[in-house]
A and B are shown apart, each in its own frame.
Chain A
């Protein structure tokens, strides 16, 4: 085993060195570790010349530094830069950047490697091709390798040989390289000049083909991203509307303070974060977000329970009155939060939810959005199980359908009401918990979503989970679909119009309760 591994490693090592040699030689570079004395002194000389007033001397020095230097000169360059004047700083910067990027190509952090590769591609230094190819050969991360290949081809596009250019353009088209579009377009433009040569025209044809390929891909990737954003917005709406659908659909209670229950969930998350900052070792900090899940659920549920017992219980069967009273409660809660927490409170997303996954070229899916989508699926599954596959759910549904009969059969209907309401409120808390990932925590938080989520409930039909899910997907998706062309405001206007037109055909929503509900 060990022998085999050693063998492999040494083989890989030789291959890499061979690569380096092959690619380093045309640029006139010697193998790196052994720099000749002459080169070292030339570098020393260049470093000494760099601050000189003489422009040509300075330029020559920069050229020498670019061609012969390496990352070990960075500290000295930085020293120089620290007390240089503006023009010298500007002169040093590209050199330092070049070498820093080269050093970063082997950085342990993938993002650093990636941005170094991209920067090198944008630097336009032909000699970077060899470094990029050497690094790409060793690279295991898919998207870093992609960036390295892209940069290599981008640099080749600037070569003098039209054959290399054509090949590079084709390759870039194959890579669907977003960064190459300006350069490619420039090549196409150049061929349109009257003085254009046949060679330029050949190159331009290849470039035009590549541009077309990239732009077709852009349409697709934008579509995929829009779809994804639509789904993630729908998920937030869905989690909110689920809680509403339970209290509204099952109990006939319009809870205008639902958005503020969400706010309570969000502030519970914030409080948990502060607790972890204050009382736990910093290594545990990221766990706060998980700890905040039960906290936000319980805080919102408890508050919902209190609300049910003090206000809503008295108003069962009078939805309009409930609406007004709960709106009053929401006003009080918003102002209380504003006075206690101030106007804006930020919750830092835990490290394991920051960043995202790139699934295709140009398609980047942030983890927090993925997380919210997953959460909403979990919530739906949980509610389904609870309502339709458990004894508690059976009681809830029984009370919904026929309160008196249920009471006669010994179901404590008041208790069921209270717990159902508390559960719906807890769901709002979870929605608030999830919302902290995508926005600020502010007192008006719930107000932004309440109208939308009520529209979801109304469109979906009362008391139907499937309706709520479909309506939130539809409204959230439409929102994101219309936003780019109409803008957020007019998109919303159009959605309201569509909802009203939809209600013309189906006055009680997508899934109406069937039966003779003459005057509910």
Chain B
């Protein structure tokens, strides 16, 4: 009913590809500057501080947390913030979908869902009542490399919050009936998503097709084919191997006494055992050579949705600030090169973007848009042309200056709330980064030069001859055209996987 925002085309559902990344933080509905409907559609606000053109604008710095490492390896980061009667936390458990054995895609997601379906003395219903009853919130987000639990409670309910969180972590029930129900629901949700806007799913197809054979290609949420085979035994094994104190980074921000809270957390989490296996690590990823196309047939689609890209950069890439500037100019804001061509000048699309997905290892870097079936070729050619020109020429000084101001100006609201700060603290610790990622951001943005950004563009954006294409649309009308871009693999949107069987993720 609300006609959505004028700009606002996020192409990719974080949930299915589920990659807590630098820009996005944990993949859920985290509080954001626009903590209402528009926000998911807005370009993710990005890092930084004082502006190039505006001398010494105030920036934001990350508060220094009280840090406690328990004997069992759990890491706690606590920040007192007393302005509102709220407590927010962000708990990251290393492992995520990477910890699921081959063929058991979705196991981490299923396990994560079940954490809130009964724990300690509470069954699923009682657990939900406990959270809802005080107006609290708890979101469990299964992601590629972690399971993330975010929560927010009234400070008067801090004790309850600690109790519920530690029950979830240390005493989940994994009740058989709840497991069966949840598994069934997860399958149905994927089927239902395929009836919806393809923008919510195309990331999963890209990830599965592009990273075929690599753990990054295994769909985080599982597939309609993989989920039904998951058993309680699988869940228990996953929990034993991958849920443990040494995998936990827990940040809490809000209205509490840090010393008292640390004691409370130590009392409730100190006895938690370590995970039975070492944390999984993804093998390195690399750019693929040549071009290939996955065409996903959605027979009634009136529009073609596309992602075109390759492998980009990791969250800890030393040039990540330049990468952010490069992304902003190519497709990270409304006046980006892509949106200007595909939307503003030509009216072909409601939106066009460029996105780097940042994980421990380089994830996808893609350009993405959608257009009516008839103009598919025109829009893709236009997007490729923009990419190609950008790789050759980079940006001029005025554009660099504008991009600097933009990322700096949009940065402070990304760290406005306790929940945002908690998520950032956990994210940085997870990726082995420190506060300079926030505190020195402005300096680094201002230090970027045309040459340094151009070098990064050439290093991190795909060459025109090496591209993975994923198209979701009406195959009967775009099949012939798609062949122009490379060898075409075709599947139906009703197929129960996100990549054709031959390219399904292998160990």
A binds B: no
